């Protein structure tokens, strides 16, 4: 067997004969790593992982292809079903990534209780023994008889087990621990991850087995391994949240069978993950009232309006350059809003430090949160509390004008349902809104008018 050394880009998978600082394919820096591969003789080119169910196929005309709706299976967790687009599609390949200890394995083990009623499940673990998984299953209350645990990292043995057991659902935890004995490189290497994902995709499509892959993330927060891993799978889910806090957010960044805008909210408890069907109420619980620097916003996560509390702390700077930090909202967007407040709102922000936070660990990226974020900063600057029953919705332009946002009526209805009495909105587009009985609408055309009314 002949060994060969190649240099592979961890971002795009491009190969080079020698090391370079920059990948000429994707223009990424410091992503090229050394990899030792083996060249098998020509007669042994057939992989030991070739699936026995593989059959030759022929092209079909588009009108001859069955276009019936995909068959879905409910996981038993409504929040996960929402993110998947209505349930797990038969024969799909789902990649679940997240920080260590965030709850990826717990989530997949919990859904086995309900999905075990619909078919057989094979849970393959490369990180834990069968006894460890059994202890966790006892804590989570998993009692289904259709769940089998297999502790192995050799892909040739795993594939043999899959065709012997013929499960309906396969869970592989994690893809970075699996290895193909024909590839002379360590588990977690680019070649090993790419080969493992390709083989599992082939099994999922040809045998209609739904496959869950657990993936590790790097210190930058991206999935470990080559980008081709995300291209191969059908769905990529990220499990987010601070491991030291109870709330967890499941977000889809790729989904061939549904929307990528939906989120699922969970709370980590002693007996596992518990769904939060009303995340707005959960994230607003315990909030202070009549305190300067706090404002409620309403953001859309897919089709779901979610209310969250924005907190800001503005204090005189002790240095030449003021310090600015943001946890939850985008820092660049926050800096832009502070510049608008200084130029258009009359607040001298250049002499003050500013810290902004979204309570509950929620990450906000949509522009509709601009008004609430700016009001929280202005409230802290002026030391004036905003009424705790007031919600702010709207986008702010660089000239200080307030712009309308999408789903405004749905956002206001959610605020009314949760008992809020007043909603600050942009004046543009209010003529098309329906009448609300229990909430007062306060339309404004620019940020200066809002600050003069509520912060001074």
Q: Beta strand 121-125 with 169-173: parallel, antiparallel or unpaired?
A: parallel
Within a domain: 66 = no
* Residue of 209, 205, 212 whose CA lies nearest to 111: 212
* Residue of 244, 168, 184, 181 whose CA lies nearest to 5: 184
What is the structure's pLDDT at 229? 85
What is the structure's pLDDT at 151? 95
Q: Are 402 and 446 in contact (CB under 8 A)?
A: yes
Domain of residue 12, residue span: 2-42
Q: Are residues 366 and 226 in the same domain?
A: no
Which of 223, 242, 277 delimits the end of a domain? 277
According to DSSP, the residues that pair with 37 across neighbouring strands are 4
What is the structure's pLDDT at 45? 39
Within a domain: 64 = no
The total number of structural domains that make up the chain:
3
Q: Are residues 164 and 295 in the same domain?
A: no
Give the H/E segment covering residue 332.
Answer: helix 331-343
Q: How far apart are CA 49 and CA 43, in angstroms?
A: 16
Q: Are residues 100 and 239 in the same domain?
A: yes
What is the structure's pLDDT at 304? 83
Q: Are residues 113 and 240 in the same domain?
A: yes
- The residues near 9 (Cβ < 8 Å, ≥ 6 apart) are 15, 16, 23, 25, 26, 28, 31, 32, 226
User: For the chain (length 456 residues), average pLDDT per consecutive 10?
Assistant: 73 81 85 70 45 61 76 91 92 92 92 92 94 94 94 94 95 92 80 89 93 83 72 91 77 89 86 88 83 94 87 91 93 95 92 92 88 96 94 96 92 92 90 87 94 90
Q: Are residues 427 and 334 in the same domain?
A: yes
Which of 220, 249, 277 delimits the end of a domain? 277
Q: Are residues 270 and 300 in the same domain?
A: no
Q: How far apart are CA 70 and CA 131, in angstroms?
A: 36
3-state secondary structure of 404: coil
What is the structure's pLDDT at 37? 65
- The residues near 153 (Cβ < 8 Å, ≥ 6 apart) are 126, 177, 178, 179, 187
Within a domain: 88 = yes
Within a domain: 59 = no
For 432-435, which contacts have Cβ atoms below 8 Å and span 24 or more sequence positions?
433/408, 433/409, 434/409
Q: Are residues 317 and 273 in the same domain?
A: no
What is the structure's pLDDT at 71? 84
Q: Are residues 29 and 161 in the same domain?
A: no
Within a domain: 52 = no
CATH number for position 330: 3.30.230.10
Which of 277, 305, 323 delimits the end of a domain? 277
CATH number for position 253: 3.40.50.300
What is the structure's pLDDT at 51? 47
Within a domain: 55 = no
Q: Are residues 286 and 273 in the same domain?
A: no
Q: Are residues 144 and 267 in the same domain?
A: yes
Within a domain: 67 = no
Within a domain: 54 = no
Residue 337 CB neighbours (<10 A): 25
Q: Are residues 93 and 160 in the same domain?
A: yes
Q: Are residues 316 and 430 in the same domain?
A: yes
What is the structure's pLDDT at 43? 43
């Amino acid at each position: 067997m002949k060994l060969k050394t190649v240099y592979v880009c961890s971002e795009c998978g491009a190969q080079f004969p020698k090391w370079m600082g920059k990948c000429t394919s994707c223009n990424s820096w410091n992503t090229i790593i050394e990899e030792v591969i083996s060249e098998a003789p020509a007669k042994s080119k057939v992989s030991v992982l070739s699936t026995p169910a593989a059959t030759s196929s022929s092209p079909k005309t588009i009108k001859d292809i069955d276009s019936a709706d995909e068959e879905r299976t409910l996981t038993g967790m409504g929040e996960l079903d929402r993110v998947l687009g209505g349930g797990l599609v038969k024969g799909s390949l789902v990649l679940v990534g997240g920080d260590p200890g965030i709850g990826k394995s717990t989530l997949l083990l919990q859904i086995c209780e309900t999905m075990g009623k619909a078919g057989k499940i094979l849970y393959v673990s490369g990180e834990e023994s069968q006894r460890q998984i059994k202890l966790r299953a006892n804590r989570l209350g998993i009692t289904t008889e259709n769940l089998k645990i297999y502790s192995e990292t050799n892909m040739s043995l795993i594939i043999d087990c899959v065709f012997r057991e013929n499960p309906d659902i396969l869970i592989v935890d994690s893809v970075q621990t699996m290895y193909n004995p024909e590839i002379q490189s360590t588990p977690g290497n680019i070649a090993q991850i790419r080969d493992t994902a390709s083989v599992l995709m082939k099994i999922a499509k040809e045998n209609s087995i739904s496959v869950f892959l657990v993936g590790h993330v790097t210190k930058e927060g991206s999935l470990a391994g080559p980008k081709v891993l995300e291209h191969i799978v059908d769905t990529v889910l990220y499990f987010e949240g601070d491991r030291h806090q109870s709330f967890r957010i499941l977000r889809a960044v790729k989904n061939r069978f549904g929307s990528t805008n939906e989120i699922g909210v969970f709370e980590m408890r002693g007996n596992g993950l518990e769904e939060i069907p009303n995340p707005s109420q959960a994230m607003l619980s315990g909030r202070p009232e009549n305190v300067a620097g706090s404002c409620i916003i309403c953001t859309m996560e897919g089709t779901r309006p979610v209310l969250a509390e924005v907190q800001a702390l503005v204090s005189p700077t002790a240095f030449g350059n003021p310090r600015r930090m943001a946890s939850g909202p985008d820092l660049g967007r926050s800096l832009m809003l502070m510049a608008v407040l200084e130029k258009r709102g009359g607040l001298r922000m250049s002499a003050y430090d500013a810290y902004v936070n979204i309570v509950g660990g929620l990450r906000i990226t949509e522009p509709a949160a601009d008004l609430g974020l700016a009001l929280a900063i202005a409230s802290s600057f002026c030391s004036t509390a905003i009424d705790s029953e007031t919600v702010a919705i709207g986008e702010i332009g660089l000239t200080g004008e307030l712009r309308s946002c999408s789903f405004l009526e749905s956002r206001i209805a959610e605020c009314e349902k949760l008992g809020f009495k007043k909603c600050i909105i942009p004046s543009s587009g209010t003529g098309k809104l329906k009448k609300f009985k229990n909430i007062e609408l306060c339309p404004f055309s620019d940020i200066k008018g809002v600050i003069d009314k509520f912060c001074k």
